[in-house]
């Protein structure tokens, strides 16, 4: 189990999104700024979507049992869930993706570093992406046929040669 979790943690740490979150020490400092009315409305809509989601479906289920009318939950349940989903999407639109991306980058950095700390590899050479006190082997594995100095395709041992994301995918991800 430990060896498998070690491989999972190292595979996650090889992803460009994770590597950039670790390298840039993604944090939650953007949440210190005062949010706009639109962002506050979006967060409120997201929170309200949870109120009208499963709790409302539970109330409809209880009502269908109490009134012995199963159509109340059969029809009302999916309608309530669909309405909840639409309110959630409205909230995400209003709040915008900026804060979502900031939070996901922070959570990714914290989660992967915790996995790497809990399941360290057998050898731990320094990696220039990580701080010196967080030296874990997260570099891509170069297949044996490329060990002679040939250009690595960027996908390491995750995908067979020729099945990568295409030329320039990494540059497009990083906005180059």
Q: What is the pLDDT of residues 79-133, one digit of tens each?
A: 999 999 999 999 999 988 888 888 889 999 999 999 888 887 665 555 555 554 5
26-77 pLDDT tens trace? 888 888 889 899 999 998 999 999 988 889 999 999 999 999 999 999 999 9
CB 143 within 8 A of CB 150: no
Residues counted in the chain: 176
Q: Which of helix, strand or coil describes residue 97?
A: helix
Kindly state whether residue 144 falls inside one of the protein's structural domains.
no
Kindly state whether residue 92 falls inside one of the protein's structural domains.
yes
The pLDDT confidence band at residue 6, using thresholds 50, 70 and 90, is confident
- When pLDDT is averaged across residues 14-31 and rounded to a whole number, the result is 90
Measure the CA–CA gap between 62 and 28, rounded to whole angstroms. Answer: 41
Is residue 154 scored above 60 in pLDDT? no
| Structural domain count of the chain | 1
Kindly state whether residue 61 falls inside one of the protein's structural domains.
yes
121-132 pLDDT tens trace? 665 555 555 554
Kindly state whether residue 164 falls inside one of the protein's structural domains.
no
Domain that residue 27 falls in: 2-139
Measure the CA–CA gap between 121 and 2, rounded to whole angstroms. Answer: 10
Is residue 25 scored above 80 in pLDDT? yes
The angle formed by the CA atoms of residues 105, 107 and 110, to the nearest 5 degrees, is 105
Measure the CA–CA gap between 151 and 76, rounded to whole angstroms. Answer: 58
Kindly state whether residue 150 falls inside one of the protein's structural domains.
no
* Amino acid 158: pLDDT: 40
Q: Which of residues 123 and 25 earns the better pLDDT score?
A: 25
Measure the CA–CA gap between 71 and 113, rounded to whole angstroms. Answer: 49
Angle between helices 71-95 and 97-118 (to 10 degrees): 100
Kindly state whether residue 149 falls inside one of the protein's structural domains.
no
C-alpha distance from residue 138 to each of 35, 38, 52, 58, 123 (Å): 36, 40, 43, 45, 11
Measure the CA–CA gap between 105 and 44, rounded to whole angstroms. Answer: 22
Kindly state whether residue 127 falls inside one of the protein's structural domains.
yes
């Amino acid at each position: 189990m430990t060896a498998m979790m070690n491989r999972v943690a190292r595979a996650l740490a090889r992803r460009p999104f994770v590597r950039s979150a670790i390298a840039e020490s993604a944090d939650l400092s953007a949440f210190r700024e005062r949010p706009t009315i639109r962002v506050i409305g979006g967060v409120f809509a997201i929170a309200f979507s949870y109120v009208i989601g499963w709790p409302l479906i539970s109330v409809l289920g209880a009502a269908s049992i109490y009134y012995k009318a199963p159509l109340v939950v059969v029809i009302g349940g999916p309608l309530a869930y669909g309405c909840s989903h639409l309110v959630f999407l409205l909230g995400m639109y209003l709040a915008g993706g900026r804060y979502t991306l900031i939070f996901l980058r922070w959570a990714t950095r914290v989660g992967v570093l915790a996995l790497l700390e809990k399941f360290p590899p057998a050898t731990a050479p320094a990696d220039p992406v990580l701080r010196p006190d967080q030296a874990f082997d997260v570099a891509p594995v170069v297949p044996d046929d490329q060990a002679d100095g040939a250009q690595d395709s960027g996908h390491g041992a995750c995908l067979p040669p020729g099945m990568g994301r295409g030329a320039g995918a990494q540059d497009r991800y990083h906005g180059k």
